Chain A
Amino acid sequence: MRHLLSAGDLDLTEALLVLDTAEQLDRAIAGRDVKKLPTLRGRTVVNLFYEDSTRTRTSFELAAKRLSADVINFSAKGSSVAKGESLKDTALSLEAMGADAVVARHWASGAPERLTSWVRGSVINAGDGTHEHPTQALLDAFTMRRRLRGGEGDLEGLHVAIVGDVLHSRVARSNTLLLRTLGARVTLVAPPTLLPLGVERMFGDPVDVSYDLDSVLPTADVVMMLRVQSERMAESFFPSAREYSRRYGLDVRRMGLLPDHAIVMHPGPMNRGMEIAADVADHPKRSTIVEQVTNGVSVRMAVLYLLLGGAE
């Protein structure tokens, strides 16, 4: 494994290796006063962010620093459409700086893959357009495994409902790919306007799709709520925020339809009151939203560790 561009790049063995490594690193760090391992000393990780995402950038930065890597934050605002420096020229200068890994967040689907033709280091997709966000999927799987499988093994037999703006969601694509690799069953739930045409066949084997959240919840072990941007209303993907949250929002009544053991996830940032009610987001037993953030650092440490070859 040289790059991590898509959750589909990982087969079952590789996916489990990332999750197991994340557990090990998490435990190794937990016992220390100084939360730092010397593993990537002397290596350079560049955070190349074409989109603002403080949470993802901070998570990667923390992960790299905990492994003692040097971190350069390179935020390239705007786009090549606006005639800033081209992606290729930026890539070539990162190459000249000796980047061992480039963590790329970009507004354009496929931009991290384009980078791989211009840099020698590893490229990690930190979210590209409406395509994928593989480390988010890994931290979500890590969280599910800890909560529901004792932190080990695969996710065979788990039923995960992914709810919301699947059309524009990189989280949904990466999660669907990874969860299926790990043996889970995924149901995508959204109004038909927020599902991509061809969704059923987009990954070859059929994907389960439902327009009716209430009918899916009673069999779900996990319900993952996606952020729904209110701008989508202006484009008539749905009529109003109120109607959206009435039909697809997770409120306390709907949460009651879930089995007792089921958990509620959200990749953040949340629109409280829109796709998720505050009482659900803050639910002490079901909500994993804060844990997801914590787990993100461990999983990103594992990815950096494995891609950069670990111990020298």
Chain B
Amino acid sequence: MILIRGARPYGEDAVDVLIADGAIAAIGAPGSVAVPDDAQIVEADGLILLPGFVDVHTHLREPGREDAETVATGSAAAALGGYTAVFAMPNTEPATDTAGVVEQVWRLGSQIGLVDVIPIGAVTVGRKGERLAELGAMADSAARTTMFSDDGSCVSDPSLMRRALEYVKAFDGVVAQHAEEHKLTVDAQMNEGAVSARLGLKGWPAVAEEAIIARDALLAGHVGSRLHVCHVSTAGSVDILRWAKAKGWDVTAEVTPHHLLLTDDRAEGYDPLFKVNPPLRTAADVEALREALADGTIDCVATDHAPHSTEDKETEWAAAPPGMLGLQTALSVVVQTMVQTGKLDWRGVADRMSVAPARIGRIDGVPSSDGGPAGPNGGHGQPIEVGRAANLVLIDPDATWLVAPSELASKSRNTPFAGFTLPARVIATFLRGTPTVLDGALAATAGATA
């Protein structure tokens, strides 16, 4: 049993929270909750209590690129970032495009036990964009995969995309599209505009993203399916999403922390730490993304945590793979860009980083081991109330910290925020009542037992 003392749920009045058997057993005014003798006390005076974060867009690199990240190191980074569930993208080697590989990743995640790892299944065999992978088999597997994506590549063929959208309706699935018209982005290196013109780097035009989002929204509307749009990066995309939602179509979207903070002029100096796909955009795009996240046009924050080895990134810009670390800096960037600017309060942060992504990934139901709809992965993004699974995060809103790449838990070092001083720190994370992080470090008891 654990008693969290003096925490402020959603930044509101302080309470004591008793956790027993993986769930919230009692909530009361400070001092009012009877403390069992064997309870572990967690002092949380002044700390903010939120439901544990959910990331619908993480790259864990296992199997295939264990030199860059593993399920274990990625899980540690996630727990330290306040996450209790992450969705692992299928662009591994081999791609997670069968029930077998999906289950393998899922079992690895649950053995490590720092965070629920829910594999995202590939939409097409080998992520090649040619024919559907066995989506139903993945959905029926132990991993209960209901989110599908060819991330890294766009499902370009409109007919195939339509079929995928339709097919996953049978198991309430969703297709998460990496929106990129590849014919418009051959060899593209950065946002197309005045900066790319000056730097002589081939441009990745906003329209390559927007054209696919518009097409997919129309397709989702046409067949009545759920569409999720990955890493929205442009003001034009926001306009299209707003229009699609006004139509009543079931379209959701995510934005990454780096697109909320950084702009394309970071490419000056040609350091590939700032190379990412979709690329960093302009200040006007950043402002539109913040507004869209605030008003709900963009539903959630997703990290697109993309570890790459130092050898892969210490190279020419054009030779480097795109991608940035994100799990351990996500909350801080959201606080800086959304909370400190008055665009979101703490309930808003809980919604965009936990409630909404849990709903999109369908892990917000009651967990069940017997094939219930949420499968084994439920209980995330829940309100902080008695009886709910104790997936929680404690945050020090007043702390600041200097981002030092070598101190991050990820196996890779490619954070674009190195040397940044960022606000807010994760102090503790609880996965079904078990602390995975305490005092800002991995808990000694964390993992394996969960």
- Give A129 to B198 CA distance when docked, in angstroms: 12
Please indicate the chain B residues that have their CB under 8 angstroms from the CB of A202 in the complex.
Answer: 194-195, 197-198
Provided the pairs A131-B199, A197-B205 are in contact, do residues A109 and B194 lie with their beta carbons within 8 angstroms?
no
Partner of A198, one of B192, B269, B316: B192
A86 near B198 with CB under 8 A, answer no
Known A113-B269, A202-B194; judge A106-B200 contact (CB<8 A).
no
Q: Does B249 contact A (CB under 8 A)?
A: no
Contact present for A109 and B314 (CB under 8 Å)? no
Question: Which chain A residues (61-113) contact chain B, with CB distance < 8 Å?
Answer: 79-81, 86-88, 106-111, 113
Rounded to whole angstroms, the CA-CA distance of A14 and B293 in the bound complex is 48
Report the bound CA distance from A114 to B316 in whole Å.
7
- Residues A103-144 near B (CB distance < 8 A): 106-111, 113-114, 128-132
* Chain A residues positioned under 8 Å from B193 (CB to CB): 197-198
- Contacting pair A109 B201 (CB below 8 A): yes
Q: How far is the CB of A204 from chain B (nearest CB, A)?
A: 9
Q: Is the CB of A110 within 8 A of B317?
A: yes
Contact A80:B315 (CB < 8 A) given known A109-B270, A114-B270? yes
Tell me, in angstroms, the Cα distance from A106 to B318 when the chains sit together. 11
A110 touches B270 (CB 8 A): yes
**Inter-subunit contact A86/B311 (CB<8 Å):** yes
- B318 near A109 with CB under 8 A, answer yes
A88 and B199 contact, CB distance less than 8 A = no
Contacts of B195 in A (CB 8 A): 198, 202
B192 lies within 8 A of A130 (CB): no
Q: Is the CB of B200 within 8 A of A198?
A: no
Question: Number of A residues contacting the other chain (C-beta, 8 Å)?
Answer: 28
Q: What is the distance, in angstroms, from A181's C-beta to the closest C-beta of chain B? A: 15
CB pair A129–B200 under 8 Å, yes or no, is: yes
B199: contacting residue among A81, A109, A111, A114, CB under 8 A: A109
Q: How large, as a class, is the contact surface on chain B?
A: 20 to 34
The answer to whether A87 touches B197 (Cβ under 8 A) is no
Asked whether A180 is an interface residue with its Cβ less than 8 Å from the other chain, the reply is: no
- Among B192, B194, B318, the residue within 8 A (CB) of A129 is B318
For A198, give the chain B residue with the smallest CB separation.
B194
Chain B interface helix/strand/loop/mixed: loop
* Contact assessment for B198 and A173 in the assembled complex, using a CB-CB cutoff below 8 Å: yes
Which partner residue on chain A sits nearest B201 by CB separation?
A109
Of listed B195, B196, B205, B316, residue having the most chain A CB within 10 A: B316
Shortest beta-carbon distance from B189 to chain A in Å? 8
**B270: nearest residue on chain A (CB-CB)?**
A110
Expressed in whole angstroms, the Cα–Cα distance for A131 and B271 within the complex equals 15
Q: B6 to chain A: which residues have CB within 8 Å?
A: none
**Shortest beta-carbon distance, B25 to chain A, in Å?**
55
Query: Is A32 among interface residues, defined by CB-CB distance under 8 A?
Result: no
Known A110-B270, A198-B194; contact A173-B319, beta-carbon cutoff 8 A:
no
Enumerate chain A residues within 8 angstroms of B194, measured Cβ to Cβ: 198, 201-202
Contacts of B201 in A (CB 8 A): 109-110, 129-131
Residues of A within 8 A of B189 (CB): 109
A29, B315: Cα distance in complex, Å: 40
The interface residues of chain A lying within 8 Å CB-to-CB of B200 are 109-110, 128-132, 170, 173
B203 CB within 8 Å of chain A: yes
Chain B: which residue is nearest A108 at the CB level? B316
Given A88-B314, A198-B196, A203-B198, residue A113 in contact with residue B270 (CB < 8 A): yes
- Provided the pairs A109-B270, A131-B199 are in contact, do residues A197 and B192 lie with their beta carbons within 8 angstroms? yes
Docked pose: A260 CA to B326 CA in angstroms: 62
How far is it, in angstroms, between the C-alpha of A154 and the C-alpha of B189 when the chains are bound?
36
* Alpha-carbon gap, A106 to B194, bound state (A): 22
Q: 1/0 per position for B248-264, CB-CB distance to A under 8 A?
A: 00000000000000000
A128 to B271: give the CA distance in the assembly, Å. 15
**Complex Cα spacing A86 to B319, Å:** 10
| B316 in complex: contacting residue of A110, A170, A197, A203, CB < 8 Å | A110
CB distance from A258 to the nearest CB of B (A): 28
Minimum Cβ distance to chain B for residue A274 (Å): 22
Q: Are A198 and B318 in contact (CB under 8 A)?
A: no
In whole angstroms, what is the CA distance A87 to B193 when docked? 28
**Chain B residues whose C-beta falls within 8 Å of the C-beta of A86 in the assembled complex:** 311, 314-315
Chain A residues contacting B269 (CB-CB under 8 Å) are 110, 113
Per-residue B-contact encoding for A181-216, CB less than 8 Å = 1, 0 else: 000000000000000111101110000000000000
Q: Tell me whether A199 and B197 are in contact (CB under 8 A).
A: yes
Contacts A86-B311, A198-B192; A110 near B199 (Cβ below 8 A): yes
CA A173 to CA B319, docked complex, whole Å? 22
Q: How far is the CA of A86 from the CA of B314 in the complex (A)?
A: 9
Q: Report B253-299 residues with CB < 8 Å from chain A CB.
A: 269-271
- CB closest residue in chain B, given A6: B198
The closest CB in chain A to the CB of B267 belongs to A110
**In the complex, A196 Cα to B194 Cα: how many Å?**
8
The docked-state distance in angstroms from the alpha carbon of A240 to that of B317 is 32
**Among residues 194 to 234 in chain B, which have CB atoms less than 8 Å away from a CB atom of chain A?**
194-203, 205
Taking a contact as CB atoms closer than 8 A, the residue among B202, B205, B270, B319 that contacts A81 in the complex is: B319
Closest Cβ neighbor of A86 among chain B residues: B315
A109 contact set on B, CB distance < 8 A = 189, 199-201, 270, 317-318
Report the bound CA distance from A129 to B200 in whole Å.
7
Expressed in whole angstroms, the Cα–Cα distance for A80 and B321 within the complex equals 12
In the complex, which residues of chain B have a beta carbon less than 8 angstroms from the beta carbon of A79? 316, 319
Which residue from A80, A114, A196 sits with its C-beta under 8 Å from B203? A196
Residues of B within 8 A of A196 (CB): 196-197, 203
A118 to B107, CA, bound (A): 43
**Partner pick for A88 among B196, B203, B205, B315, CB 8 A cutoff:** B315
Are B192 and A87 in contact, CB atoms less than 8 angstroms apart?
no
Query: In the complex the two chains form, what is the Cα distance from A110 to B193 in whole Å?
Result: 17
- Docked Cα-Cα span, A184 to B205, in Å, equals 32
CA distance A300 to B194 in the complex (A): 30
Which of B193, B270, B315 lies at the interface centre, i.e. has the most chain A CB atoms within 10 A of its CB? B270
Can you name 14 extra interface pairs (CB under 8 A) apart from A108-B318, A198-B196, A201-B194? A79-B316, A79-B319, A108-B317, A108-B319, A109-B201, A113-B269, A113-B270, A114-B270, A129-B318, A131-B199, A173-B200, A198-B193, A198-B195, A203-B198
9 sampled A-B residue pairs with Cβ under 8 A: A80-B316, A80-B319, A88-B314, A107-B318, A109-B199, A111-B270, A111-B317, A129-B318, A196-B197
A interface residues with partner B (beta carbon < 8 Å): 79-81, 86-88, 106-111, 113-114, 128-132, 170, 173, 196-199, 201-203
The 5 A-B residue pairs with the shortest CB-CB distance in the complex, in nearest-first order: A110-B270, A131-B200, A196-B197, A108-B316, A198-B194
